[in-house]
Amino acid sequence: MSEGRTAFLARPVAEQGFGPREPAGALLVDPRGECVGSLYRGVFDAELAAEAAALPAGRTARVCEVSVGAGEAVEARLTCGGRAEVLLQPLTAVPAEWWELLERGAGAALVTRLDEGAEHATSVVVRAEDAPANDAERRAGELLATRRAGRDALYGESGLVLVEAYPSAPYVVVCGGGELADIITRQALLLEWEAVTVASAAEAEKELAEHRDAACLVVLTHEPDFDVPVLRAALAAGVPYVGALGSRRTTARRREGLIAAGVTEDRLARVHGPIGLDLGARTPAETALAICAEILAELGGRQTADLGLRGLRDTDGPLRR
């Protein structure tokens, strides 16, 4: 608090236009009316700060309509103009648990219900492991499962519900070193994921156990006493993505080893091997891109066939043409 005022959190409820943008962008208006964060490159900061200052005491929500024309968008370095409805909510109305989970990097969603006049809001926290009690919480779980921050607005008989998901970042465990491992790690960091390179099966299994819900396994090693146990551990743990680099002969050898280790056909079907989307990759950098693109598609629940793409495991013939 400062001089009897409180801070406000501003984030979009509905958007149209603007071009590519951060799907979880938000703005904090502090008690002095200063803005912290990023929302539409600051073009509405002054307007939202004024709206926050004018919010009557006791109100827990205000939905503001904002818009920017083509000329203003160019000046603000936005891709194009647009309009949005932005929710302003006092920080005192946001559960403290929400901030604690974000600080720890734990995956969580905030479900905010607005009353009919959008004058009051009630927010609850939903974690990935929580059993959904309603459609909004079910949608929160779906968004968290994609491992990508995002929002969705649900309209029903009871009014508007804003669902905001901030999942823990994908945690890429790369087994094996070398140039490709380094490039995959850099590509993952560029996507704001986390990544680690391990040199032994024991290290890999430890990382998978500690980051099970966010882990994405990328096996580059071709050693049977390394790759088979690690793949088996990842499948048993149910990590979101399991992939292994190698020729079709190596892929067949791994499959035989996994079957001998008792892995079922259903679990074997989860292995992306050969790894990566069929982008015609030839260089290490292109191969890293194909691998990370496949991880992104898998986590997002996208069917690559619907995108006109296939994983290399779903193709025939040589891997390099």
pLDDT tens digits, one per residue of 201-213: 999 999 999 988 8
pLDDT of residue 301: 78
Taking the model in full, what pTM does it have? 0.71
Listed as ranges, residues in the chain with pLDDT below 50 are 1-2, 321
Q: How many CB atoms lie within 10 A of CB 169?
A: 19
CA–CA separation, 73 and 52 (whole Å): 23
Taking every pair of C-alpha atoms in the chain, what is the biggest distance, in angstroms?
71
By residue range, what is the domain housing residue 104? 94-168
Residues 152 and 191 both lie in one domain: no
Tally of domains within the chain: 3
Strand order across the beta sheet in which 35-38 lies: 35-38, 26-29, 8-17, 82-90, 62-68
CA–CA separation, 250 and 63 (whole Å): 57
Residues 203 and 140 both lie in one domain: no
Sequence-separated (6 or more) residues with CB below 8 Å from residue 41: 76, 77, 78
Residues 15 and 133 both lie in one domain: no
pLDDT of residue 1: 38
pLDDT of residue 147: 77
Give the residue from 92, 118, 148 where a domain finishes: 92
